[in-house]
Amino acid sequence: RRETGAIAGIVCVSSAANGQVGLMAVEAGFHILTETPIAKDLLEADAIVAAAEERGLHVEVSEQFHRRPVEQIKLALIASGVFGTIYSSMNDYVGHGYHGVSVMRSYLGFDARPIRVIGSVHDYHLEPHRSTITGDITDRSENHQHGIVEFDDGRTGVFHWTSVGYDSSLRWWRASRFYGEKGMGVMYGTFSEPITELTLIGPDRQGFGRITLHRELERCDGGALVRMIAYTGLPDLPVVEWRNPFGSKPGGWNPQWHDDEIGVAGCIKSLVDAIRGDRPVTYGARQALLEQEITLAISRSAKNGNQPVDLPLPR
């Protein structure tokens, strides 16, 4: 830092070293963007949070799943109040561990406080088949992980994942759900072709009305994503939108990133905006610590005969 004058850095190492290297960077005086998980060990994560707060430094974490455009428009709709209070949410094989937990928590709000976790984890044998990542056809097994998370206000989150979810044609399903006071939302299908259905109570108070989503591109024949638009059918709030901060430069020819790249870029932008504007990051170390804590609690509960585990976990 003394040699270059740098004030921020990116921590991208093997996941087991995230905590150690992240803490070293913060203690050296850097704002950081660090990979997930923030640390394998909760004590290391606690130390990063404490060191950053003591020094007035920003720590952002590369948790991009809830930053993808389709998730951002859902969160914008939830924030607008059209669904009322969200009572329960589910990560149904969207992502593993902290990634899946973050999607589930995002619908309830990152300010919702989890207090208890029940977990069930089992290993199963699978028919030999090809891994889409390695390209090899081998004997396969999977680790199935399930968790129920209770929050202090009586709301509930549900987590499902399988260890072969990223590279097995046997496990192509992806879904997330939330259930609210005035409606619900479901995303399902494969990652490359997700189907999103968002509904509110109908005008007759018994049927339901669909919210229509539209992806606006910068040209009629393609180009970068400009914004996600939701047509609600509500007279008081007919349109809700989320604008892609990386696809709105006048004149067109913006970068044509896919949704996950937009999400990752959003992590970087969060840190840059926090440093330049002296304001909090939009996700941050405390949230990332909590995602990892819930993930560990699922495993701890499963190992203890599915007994409930209270949060925070003992250090």
Q: Is position 233 within any domain?
A: yes
Let me know if residue 244 belongs to a domain: yes
In a domain, 130, yes or no: yes
Cβ atoms of residues 293 and 299 within 8 Å: no
Grade residue 34 by pLDDT with cuts at 50, 70 and 90. very high
Asked if the structure places residue 89 within a domain, the reply is: yes
pTM of the entire structure? 0.94
User: Does the structure show a pLDDT above 90 at 1?
Assistant: no
Q: For 152-298, list the strands marked E by DSSP.
A: 156-162, 174-180, 183-189, 194-201, 208-219, 222-231, 239-243
In a domain, 6, yes or no: no
How does pLDDT run across 59-75, given as a tens digit for each residue?
A: 999 999 999 999 999 99
Residue-wise pLDDT for 111-153, tens only, equals 999 999 999 999 999 999 999 999 999 999 999 999 999 999 9
Is 167 a member of any domain?
yes
Q: Containing domain of residue 219, as a range?
A: 65-277
| pLDDT of 77 over the 70 cut | yes
Is residue 37, in this structure, part of any structural domain at all?
no
For every residue of 62-108, DSSP letters joined together read: ---GGGSHHHHHHHHHHHHTTT-SEEEEEEESSSSHHHHHHHHHHHH
pLDDT digits (tens, 9 = 90+) for 228-248: 999 999 999 999 999 999 987
Strand ordering across the sheet containing 239-243: 239-243, 222-231, 208-219, 194-201, 183-189, 174-180, 86-92, 156-162, 137-151, 114-130, 309-310
Question: In this structure, what CATH number is given to the domain that contains residue 260?
Answer: 3.30.360
Tallying the residues shown for the chain, one arrives at 315
CA 267/CA 12 separation, integer angstroms? 14
Q: Is 189 a member of any domain?
A: yes
pLDDT band at 191; cut points 50, 70, 90: low
Domain total of the chain: 1
Question: Do the Cβ atoms of 159 and 147 come closer than 8 Å?
Answer: yes
